[in-house]
A = this chain, B = another copy of it.
Amino acid sequence: MTASAPTGPLPKYHQLADHCRGAIQAGSLLPGQRMPSLRALMAQHMVSLTTAMQACRLLESEGWLEARPRSGYFVRQPSVGLLAPVNDPPMQRAPDAAQYVGIHAKVSQFLSLGRLQRFKTNLSVARCAPELYPAEALQQAALRSLRHHPDQLVRAAPPQGCLEFREVLAQRALGAGMRLSAGDIQVTNGCTEALNLALRAVANTGDTIAVESPAFYGLLQTLESLGLKALEIPTSPRTGISVDAVELALRTTPGIKAVVVVPYLQNPTGSIMPNAHKQALLRLCQQQDVALIEDDTYSALVDDAVLREEPLRAIKSWDDSGHVLYCASLHKHLAPGLRLGWISGGRWKARVEMLKFAASRGNERLAQMAAASFIGSAAYDRHLRRLRTTLVTQRAQTAQAVSRYFPEGTRLTVPRGGLSLWVELPQGLSATTLFHAALAEKLVIAPGTIFTNSSRFDSNLRVNCGWPFTPEIDHAFARLGQLVGTLAKTG
């Protein structure tokens, strides 16, 4: 577990552990195989004995290696493999239109119950511990900006966003294959406002929007607040939304105005859409002249092992017709305290800008300038690499805890990045029942039912891995596992 400060270069043992972990993930070192000896690691990587030992101990604590007495370290059968992955939903079922009337009330009830009590452990959020974010570097950037532009608080900010910030965003977008100019970018109050603008740009009250099922509850709340109907499209925990099901829906349901997808690390399942799926979905939307709203909140948290196989590609990167409205945010990977997102509205650019101006005018300057300064520096990529490495560890530790403590028949999907796991309880047990049982013990979980307006996913829960895996969290999982066991016997 890496609890070190999130800026500055990684310590050497971390770099070495990264290298070995990558080799295991890539299959160069197989489960059961003997690790190179400490002596060999020292020679190959020109590190000290201490560094080699620290690296192996770290990998051991993460569950990648096991130490066998007098034999050295061996690659471990990953214990997460003991749990079968969560099942794909039936992909060819008929489209499922929900009005989402009341989704806000349902979600609010869960959220407010979770807030009412002084909980011991909150596994329901999707957020990292504050210490995993570069607080000090951002603070310094904000202080610098305040000193260099002392009157910025009394000068109105530009409606589209600060040019310096939009330029940095345009540069970073190249990393996901998008060629955007600063003029293509509208800065927003987080991805939430970006999604609101995208939906309002392409649809009117009463229109239907195709969404993933399960989907981020915040999107469902936004749809309800805008008076939009939602059509839940089957979504695989591995490969994301079913493009065939979208096609079926577009053919059979009139008046669908947009499809909303999270191609990377979908919330709550963590699925990643293969490039072929993304391209097929884009072609479909182009042919049917339907807007494609791409929510790219999480791609900065995709594992480096995945990036080594294939670099990031946003759907927007293939969009030659302007059908994609690309939405993103700094909230999850850089600074949960900054309300900074952005949208590139494609053919709806002018309408998006109009709606933003009429909804909330331009964002404040300070946060944009601080973020631009940090993102434009080398510290940004260092922070992201470190955060991703930490999340690999925390996900592995959390997955181990689930497989250790939860009863047989529990299924588990460990995404290839991000800060959540998607769990399925055995025997169709209700996570809502578990929610209430856990709440009595001051533990908060996110039951699957808040990610849908249907009756599905009641056996699922989303589990946060954003916090360092402390004994307290280990204890919480042990207790949760007992509660599930009790439910299994009594239910």
Residues on A lying within 8 angstroms of B by beta carbon are 104, 108, 127, 130, 133-136, 138-139, 142-143, 146, 150-157, 188-190, 192-193, 196, 200, 204-206, 218, 221-222, 224-227, 331, 335-339, 354-355, 357-367, 370
Contacts and interface: CB of A to CB of B under 8 A. Distances in A.
A91 to B, nearest CB: 30
B336 A366 contact: no
Contacts of A338: 153, 364
Given A189-B360, A359-B193, A335 B154 contact: yes
B370 A153 contact: yes
Nearest to A337: B153
Given A221-B357, A358-B218, A364-B367, A154 B142 contact: no
B225 A355 contact: yes
A357 B195 CA distance: 13
Given A136-B150, A204-B227, A227-B205, A360 B335 contact: no
- Copies of this chain, count: 2
B360 A190 contact: yes
Contact of A127 (B135, B142, B156, B370): B156
A361 B143 contact: no
A196 B366 CA distance: 24
Given A139-B151, A154-B335, A221-B354, 8 more contacts: A133-B153, A139-B150, A153-B367, A157-B337, A204-B205, A221-B358, A224-B358, A337-B365
B354 A152 contact: no
Interface centre among A133, A142, A200 (most CB of B within 10 A): A142
A339 B361 contact: yes
A224 B357 CA distance: 12
7 interchain residue pairs of minimum CB distance: A133-B154, A225-B358, A189-B360, A135-B151, A205-B205, A153-B337, A156-B336
A198 to B, nearest CB: 13
Main secondary structure of the interface of A (DSSP, over half): helix
A218 B360 CA distance: 10
Contact of A360 (B204, B205, B336, B339): B339
Contacts of A218: 358
A331 to B, nearest CB: 8
29 contacts: A127-B156, A130-B154, A134-B154, A135-B151, A135-B154, A136-B150, A138-B153, A138-B154, A139-B146, A152-B337, A153-B335, A153-B337, A153-B370, A154-B337, A156-B331, A189-B361, A190-B361, A192-B359, A204-B227, A218-B358, A221-B357, A222-B358, A225-B355, A225-B358, A226-B358, A337-B364, A339-B361, A339-B363, A359-B359
Nearest to A6: B154
A200 B226 CA distance: 9
A156 B218 CA distance: 15
Contacts of A130: 151, 154-155
A2 B280 CA distance: 65
Contacts of A154: 130, 133-135, 138, 335-337
Nearest to A142: B146
Nearest to A221: B358
A419 B364 CA distance: 23
A247 to B, nearest CB: 29
A386 to B, nearest CB: 14
A165 to B, nearest CB: 14
